């Protein structure tokens, strides 16, 4: 009848409980020793675990531990690279703003087509067009800083290639890295910056797509990040180094020793 109480449904294994237990796996830890590693491997796929198994002598439990560590170190590196990205793009933007003011440009540097020669320049101009559209969505006025923030890390990375030596680096971008030991030689600075930003950009894309990075020289990757920052600002380098978790996570590599 209307006054009859409905019985509460019993939770099932599919709802997040261990079979035979009323305890939710969402709020309690399952001992690692009870985990069926083969079941986990099927969910991840053997193909995805291939490099981890190869680095762990085919031991599935060790491979899964390495997979977890790879995710942790990737997360730590992503934090470092995220800090660098903002500092890096702002340094380049500032150098080009100073140069543009000295030249008396009436428009923003990213509207100066002559700065972006050749096929690489055409792609950069497309990226700029897209960024300006995004920055002015819903009819808002264009703000310089918003356009800069809408430009991808890849955009800034490719500004460091040799294609832009004459149009950007010789007149302006060498000054974005005042602490580089060869400051005053924009060709040498560009080459050093390009070498490191290429490495960091590749790593960022690997990390962003949850790809294996455990086989890389991650200490060198971290050094590239801190070097680039240090060439821009010693204080900012100290901030990134102080905030970084990466060196500690690298030391916790499950296959070390």
Residue 223 maps to a domain: yes
- pLDDT for the residue 15: 39
Q: Is 161 in contact with 167 (CB distance < 8 Å)?
A: no
- pLDDT for the residue 120: 94
Residue 81 maps to a domain: yes
Residue 21 maps to a domain: no
Number of domains present in the structure of the chain: 1
State the burial class of residue 219 (Cβ atoms within 10 Å of its Cβ: 0-12, 13-18, 19+): exposed
Q: Which domain holds residue 85?
A: 44-103+152-251
- pLDDT for the residue 7: 52
Q: Is 192 in contact with 232 (CB distance < 8 Å)?
A: no
Q: Is 63 in contact with 56 (CB distance < 8 Å)?
A: yes
Residue 143 maps to a domain: no
Residue ranges in the chain modelled with pLDDT below 50: 2, 10-27
For the entire predicted model, the pTM comes to 0.84
- pLDDT for the residue 29: 60
- pLDDT for the residue 8: 52
State the burial class of residue 62 (Cβ atoms within 10 Å of its Cβ: 0-12, 13-18, 19+): middle
Q: Enter the tokens of residue 185.
A: 């030689």
Residue 8 maps to a domain: no
Residue 31 maps to a domain: no
- pLDDT for the residue 26: 47
Residue 110 maps to a domain: no
- pLDDT for the residue 46: 81
Q: Which of 104, 12, 79 is CA-nearest to residue 112?
A: 104
């Amino acid at each position: 009848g209307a006054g009859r109480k409905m019985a509460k449904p019993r939770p099932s294994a599919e709802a997040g409980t261990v079979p035979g237990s009323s305890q939710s796996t969402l709020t309690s830890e399952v001992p690692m020793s009870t985990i069926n590693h083969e079941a986990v491997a099927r969910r991840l796929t053997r193909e995805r675990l291939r490099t981890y198994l190869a680095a762990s002598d085919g031991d599935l439990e060790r491979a899964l531990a390495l997979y977890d560590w790879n995710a942790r170190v990737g997360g730590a590196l992503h934090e470092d690279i995220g800090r660098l990205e903002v500092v890096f793009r702002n340094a380049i933007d500032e150098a080009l703003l100073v140069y543009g003011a000295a030249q008396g440009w009436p428009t923003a540097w990213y509207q100066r087509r002559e700065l972006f020669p050749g096929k690489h320049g055409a792609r950069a101009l497309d990226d700029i067009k897209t960024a300006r559209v995004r920055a002015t969505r819903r009819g808002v006025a264009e703000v310089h800083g918003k356009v800069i923030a809408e430009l991808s890390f890849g955009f800034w990375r490719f500004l460091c290639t040799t294609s832009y030596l004459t149009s950007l680096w010789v007149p302006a971008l060498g000054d974005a890295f005042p602490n580089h030991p060869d400051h005053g030689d924009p060709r040498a600075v560009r080459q050093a910056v390009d070498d490191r930003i290429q490495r960091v950009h590749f790593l960022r894309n690997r990390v962003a797509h949850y790809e294996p990075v455990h086989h890389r020289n991650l200490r060198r990757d971290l050094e590239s990040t801190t070097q680039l920052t240090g060439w821009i600002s010693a204080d900012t380098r100290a901030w990134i180094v102080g905030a970084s978790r990466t060196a500690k996570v690298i030391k916790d590599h499950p296959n070390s020793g």
